[in-house]
Structure 1
Amino acid sequence: MSSAVPASPFDSARAIQMGRQALTVESRALAELAPRLGEVFAAAVARILACQGRVAVMGIGKSGHVGRKIAATLASTGTPALFVHPAEASHGDLGMVTPGDIVLALSNSGESEELNALLPALKRLGVPLFAMTGRAQSTLASHADLVLDSAVAEEACPLQLAPTASTAAQMALGDALAVALLDARGFKAEDFALSHPGGALGRKLLSHVRDLMREGEALPRVSPGTSFTDLMREMSAKALGMAVVVDGEDRVQGIFTDGDLRRLVESGRDLRALTAAEVATPRPRTVLADALAVDAADLMEAARITVVLVVDAERHLLGAVSFNDLMRAKVI
């Protein structure tokens, strides 16, 4: 940790000014980068699309940190990619790169010693080399098959030393590659979810009703002639806030819920004389087992209900899924 002491008391106005200046410099760098994308960028996208292997991203220092992010973004959007550290590559990790791959090398100066030391070995492997650099006349650029221009007019660092605008440009250019590739592949939200099964989107797009529904003995069900007393016992035993009325072939005839109970009590009727068929709500809301869980959640919200029944095409009862089930599965 640095032991340097500020030369003067902290100036909040100065801090805000410097922060805004940094953002202005970086946003200008990105705005100037966009018009420079042209046929070389398109060629890079086309060749990566045709690649039978992976994109091996390399970079050292701050460019290495950016490279890791670019590799991760490519991999999660349909383009197989990995990050290979140049220093480790010199000691065996170059074996991670195979002849069917493409190497994307990041270096703002184009003169990173660890990266350029690999150029002869990459040449022998015969892998295409794409350079992302701020210097078109650099050593790295001169050995590359394609050069993606990431040059910036100035760094956001007032000392013009710390990589700031230059790394922002590299990051944005990597995102531009990923987005163009995603679009060219016809990559969809469902594909994204497959590589993010633990994320919120993955849970929404990969979880089906059959994965979450309660079934078998956990499901409260009664026949149409069941007495009101036995109906209440079934509801209490299964603690789902409802009971399903089914016929002899297990087809759904109706549903009786806690809400129905409250309304029935308020009506003043003699509950003991009633049967399940008489108190149940007919034609309850249902979903199929292969429906997405998020669709069940949308149905509950639209109908203002807390449980939806799961049926097959002939309305045979298969299960039920509740709002709490969806909450526990983090679908909602």
Structure 2
Amino acid sequence: MVLAPMAGVTNVAFRTLCRELELERTGTVSGLYVCEMVTARALVERHPTTMHMTTFGPDENPRSMQLYTVDPEYTYAAAKMIVDENLADHIDMNFGCPVPKVTRKGGGSAIPYKRRLFANIVAAAVRATEGTDIPVTVKFRVGIDDEHHTHLDAGRIAAEEGAKAVALHARTASQRYSGEANWDEIARLKEHVTSVPVLGNGDIFEAPDAVAMMRQTGCDGVVVGRGCLGRPWLFAELSAELNGTPAPASPNLGEVGAIIIRHGRLLADHHGEDKGMREIRKHVAWYLRGFPVGSQIRAQMSLVRTVDELAELVSTLPADAPFPSDGHGPRGRQGSPAKVALPDGWLDDPDDDAVPAGAEVMHSGG
């Protein structure tokens, strides 16, 4: 089971919390917790924000880093830097981002359509890690839209170029995060790619969902993103479910409150108290979903400025309130499907391996 990188979420604070809760509730840490996606060029150029995003905990093992990249040269340089400076133990590459500002320049989920360019990028990362025990893995979507599926080619190419595993978010880029993930496409990819593990991603919001996906598709593991927003203990439940052991009980509000405070302190340690408290505000809304907490206290927590203030507000919550029945299910962004923004002529030649102009100049932290 893998924690999917999410911008502004899966920093060292959140990953530490997930690991702590899995260990506390199951006695072991078996999940792979991946840091926020970072841009290969920004890493090579040592952009301060990017370097801060690559922070790992002192006992975090394995250290897993995901790269956003469109250029084989920067891919090689970034992967070589990770190797030479011992920055991570695992490199994942993201070709699934559907955000218009990314795809409009030929990045993210637009890349796998360009088969040769995609192959060159994966090959560059693999070449940079040769002779090491750092595996390279690749994540992508079903395709650009229903008329342009690319996942079967992408899985085959990634495996041929030396990737050690592939992961499929079972939506097209045009779906973004709307509708339902099509798990049948994970099954198709698993049948098509037999030389490396295939992981499935999409609509795993509860522990039984992971078992259902693996049974339905035959995939070798699961990648979880939005399902853990406000529920960093979900990986403990997943671990128990996948190993056939009793699932830990869902926390009551008192336990959730303690997790909120711990998360806030970890964020303050990572970002400083001012930014850390600005970051915790969005998490609080996810944590309190469905609990009997009035609008006034919610509003106060959305403006919290210090860890002490956060702890004081948490102390006023009804600690014995059980985990709500409507606290389960989909979380985070969903939105609506839309036509994918692409560079002019992008679909004309899938074998064009030219690097898209301007797609990797972003220093937006991923």
Greater radius of gyration (CA): 1
User: Structure 1 or 2: larger helix share?
Assistant: 1
Length-normalised TM-score, structure 2: 0.25
